[in-house]
């Protein structure tokens, strides 16, 4: 016995009898269940669903990637208008058949007249595409029901049909023979009348047999076909009426309801998953926060015990390791501020989750949480997010920048990051071990750190010229922003007296950590504060009157500004006077002082290159940088944001936050507008760098900034490694430490903006 042929399923490729495969796509039963035919959410065409989450067809998925989310079509209202206001189906139909007409079913103007050929398929009606599909579905269902009805009655009537057909055949033959004999002698009219009479008598004979049970009465083939034909005719007539319209509308609504239910289920499942994930993240955050508190308390306890043990043994303990985050600010004030302000507490917790500890720099900046948030966001983007430079190169450039000012705190911080990544560790032996491409940055690094006004387009051209070690403009802008960021950050570290960071793994701070034969503790152990910690804070006998005098000067300047505004010539003269006076500030104390070499000097070339005054006596000085010719808001911001995406927005937010930050108080006075004082601090730094604002009266600087404050500003900005505790204590004795930290924030941002302005101007000149 021959076996029947097997055919492969087009989806799973398994073989089945031909009858078990679906018509059209030739799918087996399992594949039909697993991959049902559904309607696309957008174009409403049917497609084979690959997965339960796939609700759009492949063509619409490709269009979404290319053109985005579609809009409703202005004709058919189907959400499939990827280009313009019309879907592709309506666009093509309009080109082929002309403008749309009103659909006879949905009454929308979205039906295209396809002439007789198109109307023949829908019984001559003018229907739109969606109504045509619904109409054909109704006809198909009717045909299937009729086919099932006829097949169910065929088997039960076979026996009776044979018997009845034989009897009819015998009677038909008898009538046919008799009529055939008479046909030769009758006229056509008589023959037709005789046929009618015989047909009538035969019909009477069919009705006269004795009655049978109702279940045994079965129609003949001719009767059944006639009834089916009448049934189809009645359906066609009913479709012409309003009942068919309602049936099609109900079918469409049912389909929409089912699709909306599926969408709701998917959305509910997505929301539940996100809620579950959010709950897990909150629980994890609380767990990390509690662990951080326990760890910090244990570290503090172990630290104190280690100090006591070392003192009992007679070991000389370096004082900076035991004075909290800052050598200038009492530890109690920093801790108290972080505990009182919940925003500061949250930001410190986030900083801890990123690095596993909260460094001293972050704790001191936590006195101003609003600025700290902006600072951490920009620094995280600069060092860790996507950008032109590799991650390990960013940290090495940060080391190069911090080393120009001998800032071992920042150098050691990024040396640890370098070891954490475990890449190119030989570079940490010194700058000569770094690749030539990074060493080429040394020239622009030293000029930016000490004399940024000397940068020209030739420096930019030397770095970006075609060659083996060349830089792209995007990479160079990224590197310049990192250099300026850490030059200014070194000023804040020294100006705030940030203490070296104790290794979290060794609370006593003395045990060396060797990795690849290189000790990281020697970078942190070399600190500038040891030589000045023994000095006591000066006590100003007339500090209260000094504060009152400053308040009176601010009030008087505000009144004079409202009454009479100085001319441009007079303001230019005051700027030149202030620029020359800045030569004398602090110059006598720092002229011949030579800083001792340290462990971070291995990352420095040409260590003798340092700060020189912008306006020197008897020399050809560079021209003044006029802010209206090239400013951050109008020129620098757009250039840096174009070459290094989004960093301009973050830097601009950081600059504005530092300049606009105010708590409307000064020392013990409240409801005080400090705008004038903040601008004087910011513009004085730019004045020392040769940057002038035409709309600012530099006579206010001498009125608001006393000499001791000017000495501190110039030291922190130009010679940050020479900052001492005595300088920090010598000005504004009645002010809070948080207000002095705010001064350092202004100096830091003013210096960074000045360095960026000179460099970006040189890049602009190179590009033009």
CA 181 distance to own-chain centroid:
100
Closest CA to 123 of 109, 110, 138: 138
Rounded to whole angstroms, what are the CA distances from 692 to 573, 581, 673? 11, 15, 24
First to last CA, the chain: 90
Vertex 299 angle, CA 296 and 301, to 5°: 110
Helix (H, G, I), strand (E, B) or coil at 15: strand
Q: What is the spatial distance between Cα 359 and Cα 518, in angstroms, rounded to a whole number?
A: 22
Q: What is the spatial distance between Cα 657 and Cα 661, in angstroms, rounded to a whole number?
A: 6
Residues 450 and 418: beta-carbon distance below 8 Å: no
Any catalytic annotation for residue 9?
Answer: no
Q: Is the dihedral of CA 33, 34, 36, 41 positive or negative?
A: positive
Residues 644 and 387: beta-carbon distance below 8 Å: yes
Vertex 414 angle, CA 410 and 420, to 5°: 155
Structure tokens at 251: 């079918």
Number of H helices, E strands in the chain: 30, 14
Rounded to whole angstroms, what are the CA distances from 123 to 100, 107, 136? 19, 18, 10
Structure tokens at 449: 């750190």
Helix (H, G, I), strand (E, B) or coil at 123: coil
Buried b (16+ CB within 10 A) or exposed e, 32-67: beebeebbbbbbbeebbbeeeebbbbebbeebeeee
- Of 407, 521, 687, 718, which is the active-site residue? 407
Q: Nearest 5°: phi and psi at 79?
A: -80, 75
Q: What is the spatial distance between Cα 742 and Cα 145, in angstroms, rounded to a whole number?
A: 85
Residues 721 and 407: beta-carbon distance below 8 Å: yes
What secondary structure does DSSP assign to 458-488, as a single string? HHHHHHHSSSTT---HHHHHHHHHHHHHHHH
**Which residues are designated catalytic?**
407
């Amino acid at each position: 016995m021959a076996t029947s042929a097997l055919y492969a399923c087009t989806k799973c490729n398994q073989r089945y009898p031909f009858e078990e495969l679906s018509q059209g796509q030739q799918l087996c039963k399992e594949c039909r269940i697993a991959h049902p035919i559904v309607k696309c959410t957008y174009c409403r065409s049917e497609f084979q669903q690959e997965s339960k989450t796939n609700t759009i067809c492949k063509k619409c998925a490709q269009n979404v990637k290319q053109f985005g989310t579609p809009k409703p079509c202005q004709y058919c209202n189907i959400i499939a208008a990827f280009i313009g206001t019309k879907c592709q189906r309506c666009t093509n139909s309009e080109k082929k058949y002309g403008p749309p007409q009103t659909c006879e079913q949905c009454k929308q103007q979205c039906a295209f007249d396809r002439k007789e050929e198109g109307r023949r398929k829908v019984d001559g009606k003018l229907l739109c595409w969606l109504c045509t599909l619904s109409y054909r579905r109704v006809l198909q269902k009717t045909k299937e029901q009729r086919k099932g009805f006829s097949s169910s009655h065929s088997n039960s009537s076979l026996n009776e049909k044979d018997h009845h057909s034989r009897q009819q055949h015998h009677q038909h033959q008898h009538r046919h023979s008799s009529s055939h004999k008479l046909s030769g002698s009758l006229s056509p009219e008589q023959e037709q009348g005789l046929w009618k009479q015989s047909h009538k008598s035969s019909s009477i004979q069919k009705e006269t047999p004795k009655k049978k049970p109702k279940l045994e009465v079965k129609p003949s083939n001719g009767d059944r076909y006639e009834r089916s034909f009448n049934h189809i005719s009645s359906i066609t007539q009913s479709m012409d009426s309003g009942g068919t319209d309602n049936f099609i509308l109900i079918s469409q609504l049912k389909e929409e309801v089912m699709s909306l239910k599926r969408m709701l289920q998917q959305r509910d499942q997505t929301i539940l998953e996100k809620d579950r994930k959010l709950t897990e993240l909150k629980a994890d955050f609380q767990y990390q926060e509690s662990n951080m508190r326990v760890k910090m308390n244990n570290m503090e306890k172990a630290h104190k015990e280690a100090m006591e043990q070392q003192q009992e043994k007679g070991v000389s303990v370096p004082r900076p390791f035991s004075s909290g985050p800052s050598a200038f600010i009492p530890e109690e004030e920093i801790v108290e501020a972080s505990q009182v302000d919940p925003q500061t507490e949250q930001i410190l917790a986030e900083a801890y989750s990123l690095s596993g500890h909260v460094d001293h720099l972050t704790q001191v900046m936590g006195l101003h949480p609003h600025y700290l948030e902006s600072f951490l966001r920009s620094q995280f983007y600069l060092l860790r997010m996507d950008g032109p430079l590799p991650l390990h190169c960013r940290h090495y450039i940060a080391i190069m920048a911090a080393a120009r000012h001998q800032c071992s705190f920042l150098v050691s911080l990024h040396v640890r990051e370098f070891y954490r990544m475990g890449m190119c560790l030989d570079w940490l032996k010194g700058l000569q071990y770094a690749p030539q491409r990074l060493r080429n940055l040394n020239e622009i690094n030293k000029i930016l750190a000490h004399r940024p006004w000397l940068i020209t387009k030739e420096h930019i051209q030397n770095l970006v010229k075609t060659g083996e070690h060349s830089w792209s403009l995007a990479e160079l802008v990224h590197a310049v922003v990192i250099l300026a960021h850490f030059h200014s950050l070194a000023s804040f570290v020294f100006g705030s007296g940030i203490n070296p960071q104790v290794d979290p793994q060794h609370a006593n701070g003395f045990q060396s950590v060797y990795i690849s034969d290189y000790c990281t503790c020697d970078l942190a152990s070399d600190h500038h504060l040891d030589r000045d910690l023994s000095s006591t804070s000066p006590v100003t006998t007339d500090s209260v009157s000094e504060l009152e005098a400053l308040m009176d000067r601010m009030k008087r300047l505000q009144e004079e500004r409202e009454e009479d505004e100085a001319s441009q010539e007079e303001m230019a003269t005051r700027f030149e006077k202030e620029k020359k006076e800045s030569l004398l500030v602090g110059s006598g104390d720092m002229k011949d002082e030579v800083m001792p070499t340290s462990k971070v000097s291995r990352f420095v070339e040409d260590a003798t290159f340092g700060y020189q005054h912008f306006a020197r006596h008897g020399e050809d000085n560079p021209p003044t940088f006029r802010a209206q010719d090239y400013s951050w808001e109008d020129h620098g911001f757009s250039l840096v944001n174009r070459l290094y995406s989004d960093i301009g927005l973050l830097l601009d937010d950081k600059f504005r936050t530092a300049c606009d930050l105010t708590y409307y108080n000064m020392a013990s006075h409240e409801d005080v507008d400090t705008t004038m004082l903040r601008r004087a601090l910011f513009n004085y730094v730019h004045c020392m760098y040769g940057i002038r604002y035409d709309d600012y009266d530099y006579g206010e600087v001498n009125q608001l900034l006393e000499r001791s404050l000017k000495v501190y500003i110039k030291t922190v900005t130009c010679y940050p490694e020479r900052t001492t505790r005595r300088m920090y204590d010598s000005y504004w004795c009645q002010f809070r430490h948080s207000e002095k930290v705010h001064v350092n924030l202004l100096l830091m941002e003013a210096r960074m903006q000045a360095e960026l302005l000179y460099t970006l101007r040189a890049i602009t000149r190179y590009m033009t």
